[in-house]
Amino acid sequence: MDNLKGISSFVKAVEEGSIAAGARRLGISAAAASQNIARLEQQLGVRLLIRTTRSLALTESGQLYYQRVQSVMEELDDAQAELHELAGEPRGKLRIASSAAFGRNVLAPLVAAFAIRYPKLKIELVLADHYVDHIREEIDLSIRFSQQLEAGLVARRIARVPLRFCASPAYLAQHGTPHDPDELIHHQCLVLRVPFDGRLLGWRFVRNGLRFEAPLNDTLICNDIDTLANMAAAGAGIARIGAFVADRLIADELLVPLFEPLEGKVPNAEIEPLEFYACYRDRQAATGKLRLLIDFLVTHIPAPWQA
């Protein structure tokens, strides 16, 4: 047991950058943590840490030992967390990745509410517009739209978000309002370059049950949807924007939606929605706390967008 205390104190000190910070994570005093590590070094017969007043560094032996025992301690933490989950107390780490726009505008307040409900969890939210590697980046759950789905991941749909084609009142007054997607080729189109693969994201519609991409005059390209929305509001052209970004700007009369039902009239082409999925590695990765998080997201996504 003393050896386990020493290993735990050592691992937490390395993770937090100091013995005192590691001790706070464990709920013990810095003196107790230092004594635990000293006893561990004595038992192993090697020095693991180089301690100074301002820094903490691993010796060569310490680096090797840390690499070996870190995963063991994580497994022990996970086992303890699973036991607490059985008692209704989810705890431990959850690392969540999401595209920046959806994470910023939709996911962040949901994760905050989840963290408040389950304060013993340690949650990290990573906003990243690249392909997320669950194993290499230690991601428990990634939120992806349909074009980002990968074979081998378990995916559960959590939201169907309408897409809005929008332009500013000033732009429409100057250039006219398109009423058919085929007219977009004659307008200035603000197009998203998908960060994870570099391609331009086409503008998809459904007509008579058939999907098609509208021809575009891509005069302005950006890899961030919030920025595209701001440029559209500034009068630069027409943009395709998720409702979680567009609806606030429409409500403030900075943008005008296009190709949508108006006064009972059905448009000649429907706008295909954007579907979002909660993804994890495999069935074995679906811990109790992960399932709890997914269920929370499914039930707390704003009602109009629920899958």
Q: What is the mean pLDDT of the chain?
A: 86
Strands of 152-283, DSSP E: 154-161, 163-167, 189-192, 204-207, 210-213, 218-222, 238-242, 256-258, 270-271, 274-280
Average pLDDT over residues 127-149: 84
> Is pLDDT larger for residue 97 or for residue 92?
97
Torsion of CA 230, 234, 239, 241, to 10 degrees: 30
Residue 31, pLDDT above cutoff 80: yes
**DSSP 8-state symbol, 103:** I
Residue 81, pLDDT above cutoff 70: no
Helix (H) / strand (E) element for 177: namely none
Helix and strand element counts for the chain (H, E): 10, 15
Residue 187, pLDDT above cutoff 80: yes
Q: Rounded distance, CA 182 to CA 212, Å? A: 11
Residue whose token pair is 């989950």: 85
CA distances, 2 to each of 6, 38, 42, 206 (Å): 6, 11, 12, 66
pLDDT for the residue 185: 95
The pLDDT tens digits for 199-235 are: 888 898 988 888 888 999 999 999 999 999 999 999 9
Q: Are strands 121-127 and 56-58 parallel, antiparallel or unpaired?
A: unpaired
